[in-house]
Structure 1
């Protein structure tokens, strides 16, 4: 047809090349349009974070520590099979920070279903893999009304699982964390600043969570180290279990 129209062979080849290029470009544009219509891929970590409630309160900072040898006697739940009780973990209604400052227990809860105390798909799966059977949570308010804190103790299968959970939380804590207890006296303010730490204690994991009631970042006057040590008073329950196995002489 092109020849009949009087177009030389050289121009015919050029026209074919141009038409081919235009066709490829058009096909590419169409392909991109189709791909865009299918939506964008979200990485797995983002999808995990999305399962959290929109107003989920999470710590801004997290540090984790492995289990000291002191807790080797309770490295396996099989050798420490008695379940935790609320009275055992939260027998103290007040934890001493200093002569003038106390942390007062505002709420407590013991769950045999760990999914009731944790949030975030990856953390829930990690806890399940670790054989989590109990979570004990205690919410505290400082006597001056300035600080709110929560201590959570997880009952896992063994020390290896506890250490792995703490290690993984160094990455996962912004997409999975403990559920805060609710109380009219103390609450972690949404959007507020808070800090947390994880401690492997044999087959247990202790999670400390602290913040100011007003949600502000700490200043030089806010001694979070001393507050953390006081909040870890709930760990006495684990120390008592070690002694019950090794004897007072240890």
Structure 2
């Protein structure tokens, strides 16, 4: 054994044995000395197998209970350093009597040590694999469902956003959602505008195709001027036909209209076609429908005016407003069905005017059914036919003279 040089620390002995020096070629290896070879342990013979019972690996196997067989007992594979420390005999490998070992053979300690080293390395690999398996079996903190952030704020915080950035993200999302909702509302409002053409009811499909109706319509609600007659109770008297169409000639600008026919209907449903419009009049409490037709002095224009007496101003406003969509599936009938002023394939225009609990419908067009051109003045034509509304103004004065 070599003594280390002074000043140097002695290197710690490792678990591995230094490789044996090979003898020169042609020379046999020297036999191990008595110090290198461990003493052989005599294996007891002739003893019975130990009785069945509990066996604790904590203590060494008693020598007096070893099986008495002629062969070498099967030893379990070493389980590592802990096993060899608890059972020192396992590190020596299978024992044989000293008489069976030759002079040139190595003691069984070398094989046992080699097996022990291999067992230790195998045990170390298994322990490392078990530790890796335990680490992989542990749930990842970032992927544990129980620890995942809840709600939008938790997710934004997990993404690394500051509180100010989180508020900006949420504010932008709410702004985008509100803009989308407003856009959808505007589209819905535009869809039900004056240009919307609803499909007529199934029962009125044939009637709507054969009945004339205006191609365009606009409605106006009642003004404050007609507040005294907002309720029909304030104006219970029926309007005579001669009062509404008292003037035989109506003039506005260069247009002069002459009265050609009148008709009064106590049942308002008789003055219109279209189930939806008839139901609307019934709900509005209609009690009178007065119609009059006009033709211009030059026979270029035709017009018809219809006045409904309803329950109140709210009903009148609702009627003229609903006709913005209902006029395609229901409208007023001509006074003389045998000689109608308007045709189903001709162009005409209509408008509705609420006046207290009254509602007046204007229907105008060219006599030939053609669309108006630059020479036609439909504004003056509409104002001329509305001269029949003078009877409603006289009712306002009768109910509230001071106004």
1:166 aligns with 2:320: yes
Deviation at 1:184, TM superposition (A): 7.8
Larger relative contact order (C-alpha < 8 A, sep ≥ 6)?
1
TM-score by length of 2: 0.49
How many angstroms apart in 2 are the aligned matches of 1:186 and 1:121?
A: 21
Higher Cα radius of gyration = 2
Deviation at 1:54, TM superposition (A): 4.0
How many angstroms apart in 1 are the aligned matches of 2:201 and 2:261?
A: 32
Deviation at 1:44, TM superposition (A): 7.6
TM-score by length of 1: 0.78
Give runs of ≥4 in structure 1 deviating > 3 Å: 43-46, 183-186
Mapping of residues 47-196 of structure 1, within 5 Å: 47=202, 49-50=204-205, 52=207, 54-98=209-253, 100-182=254-336, 187-196=341-350
* Aligned match of 2:48: none
1:219 aligns with 2:365: no
* Aligned match of 1:21: none
List per-residue Cα deviations over 1:22-73 (Å, max 9, x = no partner).
xxxxxxxxxxxxxxxxxxxxx9844254262542000000000000010010
SS at match of 2:325: helix
How many angstroms apart in 2 are the aligned matches of 1:176 and 1:48?
A: 12
SS at match of 1:190: coil
SS at match of 1:82: coil
Higher share of residues assigned strand: 1
SS at match of 2:210: coil
Q: What 5-or-longer segments of structure 2 have no aligned partner?
A: 1-197
1:48, 1:122 within 8 Å by CA — same for their partners in 2?
no
1:198, 1:205 within 8 Å by CA — same for their partners in 2?
yes
Deviation at 1:187, TM superposition (A): 1.4
* Aligned match of 1:229: 383
Q: What 5-or-longer segments of structure 1 have no aligned partner?
A: 1-42
SS at match of 2:207: coil
Deviation at 1:101, TM superposition (A): 3.2
* Aligned match of 1:18: none
1:48, 1:120 within 8 Å by CA — same for their partners in 2?
no
Mapping of residues 197-212 of structure 1, within 5 Å: 197-212=351-366
List per-residue Cα deviations over 1:120-156 (Å, max 9, x = no partner).
0100000000001100000000000000100000000
CA RMSD in angstroms, aligned pairs only: 1.8
1:106, 1:185 within 8 Å by CA — same for their partners in 2?
no
Alignment length, in residue pairs? 206
How many angstroms apart in 2 are the aligned matches of 1:157 and 1:231?
A: 24
Label 1:175 to 1:184 Cα distance change in 2 as closer, same or farther (>3 A): closer
